[in-house]
Chain A
């Protein structure tokens, strides 16, 4: 037997292990490769050569090792397989192993049926995800680890993917939650993702091995795993060799490989060349001249400056407290810039703002008087209450104001910030439609920054180097997680930093044009385009945009400050009387403390953050409703959602039954058919028991049985409902499978979507507690009484219920459902009349029946009422709309309601529509475009909100407020 060599090339690190003939480890190392895979491997191998020459049997493993293996001809072993080999040798008594790498997460079940699992493509980002989060908190990973150990509480953070988690974390940072708590929450999210996304119904138990870099170095992560999996020290094993474990496995696996001299091996790697597999685009600039002309053209739109040290007079302050950056600007009444500031939040936007205003007061030495101020952005509420600004305005309005200053004819604005992409079309001097990216494609802007950092480069330098790249790589445009792995692939294929830099710019632009705006051609955008947002300061991005659209656009020199500038302009135009803005004296005395707690105003138990200012005034955030903010809640008398929530539950009598207890999980189809089945079972003398109210906690309860993590949130919540019913000791749970929903005669067919129709199958298959006895899921078509009765008769045979009884019960059920529908429709009429009388705008919050669940809609109905809208739902109004003939195949019952509801909205001036869409709903990819078309054909504003497990209403609020602003603008124009 010869010496063994294992090379593990991961997405971020290279691990090399050499083992001698007796199994003794001669050499082991763990180094970051910064995308220089080949070089790093070579230098490590030369280290081995220095101490130990001779013949080696070598294997390469790891996600990034495949290409290297193919090109160099060195054997390859899949990394999980490598790990498995090492486990069997060193830990033969292990029951399972969890391995986290840079981009992959894996679980190996050793005992009880060997099984090896890897995360799916969407759950990417574990080690890389932690890195990204640390960057977001502006700490090193080690610091984050230390911090996490001091945590006092854990916040729920969406764990499905990095992009989502980020959307959850950002508001926490903005609200002033402690870094320690956030750090611990991030680790918990990683654990939850591993346990739910990978284990999928199989419990991780017994002796568990934890492998890979992150699980070796991060104490906080170890702790979170141990606690979550309920493992003691004896059962949670963290090997000393954890980071190199796969490399050791690869070395052991090499036994079967023909040995070669190490120098030969090194030569094989050295001589391997990059493959031709990467796809490339066109260079951004041909030459220097082209670039110079380009720069000169854009210079023309820069604002003038004015010396703050000498200026005397009034000024207006605008602040844009964005998700990742804080922007301030101070302008003179003739719009010259006195002072501006653009900075990453580094977790503390409030501190930055206070510090910078102090600086302004110091610099101005009493010569300048702030005549007015306005705040916009994510942190609007907090900053506004802290500095007592005159106005808080919606971001979209601020951006529009600013764009108008640069081009009064502007008809299209696109803003690419760190987190969000926003686009507005302007028609007749008002915002006509707003497009915001959905969570999935967020973070594109800051991705460049994070990536540059990971490459050890300054962002400016990184983006500049892409300008003359010969072959910009194609990186796809779905989300940053995918982009990340595309970049990794490109690197492995030998793409240069220049090519990647240019590729990133163009992929951000493509994402914006084709995914956010969803434009079929560049002409749709408009003639007078203003681009803004910090990301556009990057010339490569700007150039990509102009190239992709084929249009020359305006990018103001203050592209990154447009929100703040717009706010300042707004203050200038709207302030009357003395400004309330905090003065120099007040600023000196300014101090605050922050505390996070749970609001006990209702059963939601929101995590709220209370910031108390020195003068005793308080600012509360994190609350879903006014109650949490210490205000009197807005009445829900004009909220059909509130009515339905109450009315639906009233359709259950809940009395004891002679025949036993039936559990009905209140989710998916049951949100519509509860009255029917409650009526059915109660008239058969069963006691109807409902599952627990949906909540994040309930979701976690069933998370381990989720089989497909890309299914919609309502479906995934169903797992928790089932667990809760099982815990409530029901005799059986009932959830029918219905290919066909009830025919409402307004579509060509009346299907349910596949998930609603058959989710029972998945539940049964993936929850070991469910059996044929305690889970009843008949296939029925409620439109055909005869077969339905027959089927129900068969499944309830053991209760000795006659066919005629079943039939009677079913009729009783239908009666209850009818009564429910009538009540909902009557209430809808009542709300419409009342809204009209009070001169209120109404919104049809259109989605699916199960969007009624407060855990699914995140209280958007309450948000709407607090903004002064009356709230309706699609099932309350669709019958008032005409029947519609649509372009798409209209074949699902619930979706057919949407089209008719849209038609109804179009026929009523003061009624608007907001479509709620669950993330991952494939069918809504079809309905949304069609509903939009109906709305736009009638000249109505279309607003869509994508909802997921993310519990962050910040973006939604911006959207709805923008909608309100647009509606009011529209009204004003109509009247004037």
Chain B
């Protein structure tokens, strides 16, 4: 057979070079305020000049609309919009600024954010490099080199962020003295970031316990409130820009938002690699590494759970092994694109831990969510008969009223159930 040659259609784009560390500012979209606040600080400590973008005006969405294909998912549009809007603000030198984005390398189109961002930047800021953070060996010439030490710090940061978020959400709706909860959070964040300056951050038990006790000390009312779980596509699940401030909205509706841990998503990605080995024989060094990594991280997670249990004030975070068993009741762990089986697993786990209401958030037309989100609702309903689930689409053109009206419907049912349960007991 004759040799097939390769034609290069790629366009030139600025690449991230390690030496830019000392010269460039790095802009990061704000996906998860809890965790990113800590990560921002620890990257700074490591010598990176990073900034988490907080711009969230309508102009952000408009820039996104201008630069991203209509049918591309909403998170991409938000992220691109944030970058362009920030760069246009004049606060940053376009010749000395880079933008950073994570990339999973899965079969979902989200893996294609990088080229889309590049294309958008090219039109306005052709010198701004895009940095990829991924663990799949993609974008080798423009990726962020995460050394073992930084990796370790990131892992701890995620764990601490999870504990913080988890405690805060269980305290805030019930706080007796307005603002007490936020005060605790702010001082804890300061303490935690401080710990990353030395090796103090490795005091896993001490830090986690201190978070739990600090929140447990906040005076809370005993009133019963409607608990609402938030699951879905990772960006709209966590980012206030993506979900129109869903957590705040739920708080304002006098509900307790239950937002599952970010570490669960990390473990989900790792388990997918492990499953690939069992399912399709993709075993090898990488597979073994994932297995070891999973063991370590899961052990850490179990520890946090034990701290929660010992303290007794809060519902502990989900045990990932439990999540996997939950997934098996709903759909196959082979559904591994996007947030895949994790969505079904989290919904089932929420149902089993007494969270009777769920918002399943997804970008309009999200491909994996057709199957793993909306697609599993019926299965869940047969297993957890009273689970109250609403699927909400997020999109630049979907109106907030429309979204809130649907959530309100869900809340109306939730309140009725809560009242009914009270009178029963």
Residue ranges of A at the interface with B (Cβ–Cβ < 8 Å): 63, 66-67, 76-81, 113-116, 118, 120-122, 124, 200-202, 279, 474, 476-479, 482-483, 485-486, 489, 492, 510, 514-515, 518, 520-521, 707-708, 710-711, 715, 737, 739-740, 749, 751-755, 757-759, 761-762, 765-766, 779-781, 783-784, 786-787, 791, 882-889, 891-892, 899, 903, 920-926, 928-930, 933-934, 937
Contacts and interface: CB of A to CB of B under 8 A. Distances in A.
Contacts of B10: 885-887
Interface stretch (B34-42, B61-69, B235-243, B315-323): B61-69
B115 interface: yes
Given A474-B62, A922-B73, 16 more contacts: A63-B402, A114-B413, A121-B395, A477-B65, A510-B65, A707-B377, A754-B371, A759-B371, A761-B331, A761-B332, A762-B370, A781-B282, A884-B8, A885-B7, A891-B111, A929-B119
A120 B391 contact: yes
Nearest to B407: A78
A922 B71 contact: yes
Contact of B4 (A521, A755, A882, A930): A882
A270 B317 CA distance: 48
Given A81-B409, A889-B111, A920 B365 contact: yes
Interface string B391-405: 101011111111111
A34 B335 CA distance: 48
Contacts of B118: 887
Contact of A66 (B7, B108, B404, B411): B404
A482 B398 contact: yes
Given A67-B401, A201-B378, A765-B379, A937 B9 contact: yes
A708 B336 CA distance: 19
Contacts of B313: none
A707 B391 CA distance: 11
A885 B6 contact: yes
Contacts of A120: 391, 393
B370 A711 contact: yes
A116 B334 contact: no
B94 to A, nearest CB: 16
Nearest to B419: A256
A85 to B, nearest CB: 10
B371 A482 contact: no
B393 A78 contact: no
Contacts of B371: 754-755, 758-759, 761-762
B111 A476 contact: no
Nearest to B103: A889
B367 A766 contact: no
Contact of B123 (A115, A520, A925): A520
Contacts of A739: 107, 280, 334, 336-337
B145 interface: no
Given A753-B107, A784-B281, A903-B7, A116 B413 contact: yes
A124 B11 CA distance: 41
B412 A784 contact: no
**Top-3 shortest CB links A-B:** A751-B107, A781-B280, A476-B397
A168 to B, nearest CB: 21
B393 to A, nearest CB: 5
A783 to B, nearest CB: 8
B412 to A, nearest CB: 4
Most buried by B among A67, A202, A485: A485
B107 A892 contact: yes
B397 to A, nearest CB: 4
A412 to B, nearest CB: 18
B52 interface: no
B225 interface: no
A279 B120 CA distance: 24
B224 interface: no
Given A118-B406, A787-B281, A886 B9 contact: yes
A354 B6 CA distance: 60
B72 to A, nearest CB: 5
6 contacts: A476-B396, A710-B393, A754-B370, A784-B281, A885-B9, A887-B11
A889 B404 CA distance: 36
Nearest to B370: A708
B397 A884 contact: no
Most buried by B among A758, A759, A903: A758
A78 B408 contact: yes
Contact of A887 (B115, B336, B400): B115
Contact of A492 (B11, B70, B401, B408): B401
B377 to A, nearest CB: 7
B138 interface: yes
Contacts of A492: 401
B58 A474 contact: yes
Nearest to B116: A926
B385 interface: yes
Given A113-B385, A486-B397, A929-B69, A707 B9 contact: no
B334 A779 contact: yes
Contacts of B379: 765
Contacts of A765: 331, 375-376, 378-379
B356 interface: no
A740 B123 CA distance: 34
B399 A708 contact: no
Nearest to A474: B58
B70 to A, nearest CB: 5
Interface string B336-378: 1110000000000000000000000000111111111111111
B149 interface: no
A892 B109 CA distance: 10
A483 B120 CA distance: 25
B279 interface: yes
A182 B335 CA distance: 43
B112 A926 contact: yes
Contacts of B331: 761, 765
B5 interface: yes
Contacts of A115: 381
Nearest to B375: A762
B66 A514 contact: yes
B196 to A, nearest CB: 33
B114 interface: yes
Nearest to A76: B408
A888 B337 contact: no
Contacts of A740: 280
Contacts of B413: 81, 114, 116
B9 A934 contact: yes
A707 B378 contact: yes
A925 B375 CA distance: 22
Contacts of A514: 65-66
Contacts of B9: 884-887, 899, 903, 930, 933-934, 937
Interface string B46-88: 0000000000001000100111011111000000000000000
A761 B334 CA distance: 10
Most buried by A among B373, B375, B398, B416: B375
Contact of A78 (B114, B375, B402, B412): B412
B281 A923 contact: no
B175 to A, nearest CB: 24
Interface in B275-306: 279-282
B111 A754 contact: no
A478 B396 contact: yes
A37 to B, nearest CB: 13
Contacts of A886: 9-10
Contacts of A77: 412
Contacts of A889: 105, 111-112, 114-115, 138
Given A78-B412, A766-B378, A885-B10, A787 B370 contact: no
Given A485-B402, A754-B107, A925-B70, A888 B112 contact: yes
A934 B114 CA distance: 19
Contacts of B400: 489
Contact of A754 (B123, B367, B395): B367
B370 A715 contact: yes
